[in-house]
Every structure is written in structure tokens, then in C-alpha cells.
Chains A and B, each alone.
With several copies, the nearest count.
Chain A
């Protein structure tokens, strides 16, 4: 799979839940290229999870077309399953246990790795995610954040080409968030792994996103772009039930007061920008 090749295409799908809730993921096409870090922001209940479930073939659209690695996941997901790692929003049921270590071994053994290879892979991911202290625990009795990490480990262990993460940061403590972002960025850089993340933590978006989608109402994908573009230009993120990242708010506020330091999105950029302007003032 070459860098930049198109691996996901979603073309105006409609899904109707049994209680007649209709989610229509339309507006822009949802397109993901190999090696991109894609994030989706949107209000509660707007259809993010619904979209991801279509990519995984768990839901099959009534109308419209979904293609992942050139395959229709509603039909043939098993052909590409090995390439896709998933962490669902509701992490509880994703962990099959009984112990953390068993759970991490689950996928490698199912895909026919030998015990030795599987052990080795598990060790590596356990180290990456700092799971040593809990690796022998029974999965039912982990704290909320610990469960999330175990689910992540289960998804990462196969070193998939595509990672689908539904709100991976909820319930993680700040340092674990930071670690996770770092791990994801490393994987993306070293192995070209593509990942699609939904999240609500706008402050984290700039650090782990090449392409940002905004979703609206009941599935309306209405914006696509680089995070700085989207946060920079938008006046009414509120209509998406979103906020700007803290720094954007700060610098927009300063601009209103007549102090234009630009639109930095990351702390180091912000410090540099303020410093530069401060010096220039002399």
C-alpha cells in the first residue's frame, strides 16, 4: 500500500436504526488516504460512531457506498480484518480476557501466530503502553482508564495498517493521553499507519491530526481540512457543539484587544510567537 493511496471512501450513506432514527452521513464524502491521521469532531449523537461502524461492517448502510481497502466491509470485512485495529467507544465488551495478558494474546493467536511470536508481540505492546503492573489482572476488575489501555493494546498488537479509534482518550489520565498521542504519532511516522479517531478533546486535535472532519446534526459531514485552517477560519464552531482549542481562544481574544500574535495551535509555537512579537516591540 503506497503512501497517499486512497484507502477509504464513504459515499453518502444512510442508516436507519430499528427505532427509525435516521443517520445520513452525507455532505462531503469521507475520504482517507494511506498514512493520514484523520480526526472527526462532532456533537453527541451526531453519528460519529455510526460512521465508524459502517467502516467495520458492523452496520450495513441502507443506501450509499462504503469502501475500505477496495472492499465492501458490509460483505467481506473478514478479508481485511487483519489489517484493521479497532478500539470501540464502549470498551468494556471489547475485552475478552480473562486476564489482561490473555486478552492481548487473543488476536495474534487467532490469526495463527505461534505461541512464541504471539508472546513476543504481546510483550512489546505491553512495554509500549506501560501495562506491566496490571498484565496479570482479570480484565473485569480494572479501573475505567485501565480498560481503555488494554483495549488499545489489543488493537495495536497486530500492528495494523489502519487504526480506528472511537474516543480513545475518554477516561485516560492526561499523561496517558500524551503517551497515546506519542505512540500513535510514532507508529504513523515509522510504519505509515493510518488512523481515524473520533474525539471531543479539541485541545488534542492539533497534535495528532492531518485532516479534520467536522460533523453536524444527524451525520452531516460539512467541513474537511487541516486543523489550523478549520479552527482559524471558523466563527461558529458552536453550531457543531464544539469549542475552539484553548490557545485559539486566547489568541483570538488577544486579537480582539488589538494584539495580533498570529494563530498558533501548539504551546511551543505560541511561546515563540509571543516572544518574537515581544522582542520586535522594542
Chain B
């Protein structure tokens, strides 16, 4: 459970709208600064890795959303900027299949791309140090997933005050008109005294996540080994090994 697809309607507007904008901005910047030919030459790879992620994300291993993500391996193969675009595409398609929310595509992309981007950098960092492919891949994957899980928890907890509202303001009119609520830093203190139990949430997510991180790490390492054997050029390791 390295990553969860946030669904529609759970998070407050003031959270997902900026998420959307941020993701769009990043994507736009990346599109602008990636060379056109480089992009079109690697389009097929982008498409296929995105497809692999879509498939991985839709094949359940264990009922509670355990699934392989393949984000880290995709990140290693695509590089940090393309993986972001790929993640965006993945979230759009998953949203179309009903696997994640449409409104939260932006946030989901930001969270998920952490895995790919961090995975890529960690992988190359550790490779410099150890030169042991399996170990390097495993650690990079594991850490990247830890980061993204905490990012997800962070995002969910940012919505705390919104959940409170939903709980307390029941039946107070059909529509919510005040879309952009001004939320100061004080909402974190509130957490403790209301019925919101973020602690429990985290207590569930982290242990489950831990197993997921290890599984994903092992799978990614094995796949990387295989790719290293057949198409070492795809991993872009030559420069560094010399």
C-alpha cells in the first residue's frame, strides 16, 4: 500500500484546487523545458510505463488496496521529468476507470510522483555509493515509498478541519457556499479535542504500508536486475560506472 488513490468528495476544496493548480504548473513547466525531440522519442516508453502503472494499480494483491505500483522502476527508466508527466497520465486514466477521484487528480499526481522522482534520485545516489544493483534498488524504492506515504498522510490530515465540519454541520443547508475557507494554523490543535482520530488512521496505514514497501522493494529490485541483464542501456548507469 505504497500509495492510495484519494477519491472524490473527501478532501476540502481549498486543498484540492491548489493541488490541481500546482500539478498543472509543474507539468506545464516540464513540457516547456523538455526538448521536443527528446519527448517524442521517449513517448512510447512513457506510454508503456504509464500503462504498466495503470495495470499494476488495478490488479489487487490483497483486498485492502495492496498493489504493485511500479512507480519507482518507471522513474528510474523515464527520469524525473517524464515520470511526473507519466504519473499525471496514470491518474487521469485511473480516474476515468473510477479508481481515484477526478477532483483530486492534481493531489494524487503530486503524491505519486514523489515516488518516481525520489526513487530516481535515490537510486542514482545509492548506486554511486554501493554499485550493488539489487540493494540499491531496494533501498531507493523503500525510502521513496516512505516519503510518498507520509505525504499522503500529510494531505489527509490537512483536511482535518473539513471532516469536522462535515461531522458537525449536519443538516445545515443543502449546499456549501463558502468554498474557500480561511484556515489558519490553529486547526492542528483542534485535532486533539475533536472526534478526528488521525492517530488511528496512521496506526492503520503505517504497518500495512510497511509490508507494502518491502514487497514493492523486492519486486522492483528483481525487475531492475532483469532489465539490467537485457537492456542495460535503459537504466542509464554507464556514465556513472566509468
Contact = CB atoms under 8 A, between A and B. Distances in A.
Indicate if A touches B (C-beta under 8 A).
yes
Interface of A: 18, 97-98, 138, 140
A138 B226 CA distance: 12
Q: Please classify how large the interface on chain B is, using the bins under 10, 10 to 19, 20 to 34, 35 or more.
A: under 10
Interface string B222-242: 000010011101000000000
Interface in B194-242: 226, 229-231, 233
Interface of B: 226, 229-231, 233
A98 B226 contact: yes
Contacts of A18: 231, 233
8 contacts: A18-B231, A18-B233, A97-B230, A98-B226, A98-B229, A98-B230, A138-B230, A140-B230
A20 to B, nearest CB: 13
A181 to B, nearest CB: 33
A18 B231 CA distance: 9
A18 B232 CA distance: 10
Contacts, number: 8
Question: Main secondary structure on chain A at its contact with chain B?
Answer: loop
A123 B137 CA distance: 36
Nearest to B231: A18
Contacts of B229: 98
A81 to B, nearest CB: 15
A138 B227 CA distance: 12
A101 to B, nearest CB: 14
Nearest to A19: B230
A28 B135 CA distance: 52
Contacts of B231: 18
Most buried by A among B226, B230, B233: B230
What 5 A-B pairs are tightest by C-beta distance, nearest first? A138-B230, A98-B230, A98-B229, A140-B230, A18-B233
Contacts of B233: 18
A97 B231 CA distance: 13
Given A97-B230, A140-B230, 6 more contacts: A18-B231, A18-B233, A98-B226, A98-B229, A98-B230, A138-B230
A140 B227 CA distance: 12
A36 to B, nearest CB: 34
A156 to B, nearest CB: 25
A21 to B, nearest CB: 14
A18 B233 CA distance: 9
Nearest to A93: B44
Nearest to A18: B233
Contacts of B226: 98
Nearest to A138: B230
Contacts of A97: 230
A140 B226 CA distance: 13
Contacts of A140: 230
Nearest to B44: A93
A98 B232 CA distance: 13
A65 B229 CA distance: 33
A97 B233 CA distance: 19
A13 B226 CA distance: 32
A205 B226 CA distance: 41
B78 to A, nearest CB: 19
Contacts of A98: 226, 229-230
Nearest to A140: B230
A280 B231 CA distance: 67
A138 B229 CA distance: 10
A99 to B, nearest CB: 9
B28 to A, nearest CB: 26
A137 to B, nearest CB: 11
Contacts of A138: 230
A140 B231 CA distance: 10
A239 to B, nearest CB: 33
B232 to A, nearest CB: 9
Nearest to B229: A98
B151 to A, nearest CB: 36
A235 to B, nearest CB: 42
A97 B229 CA distance: 11
Nearest to B226: A98
B205 to A, nearest CB: 36
B226 to A, nearest CB: 7
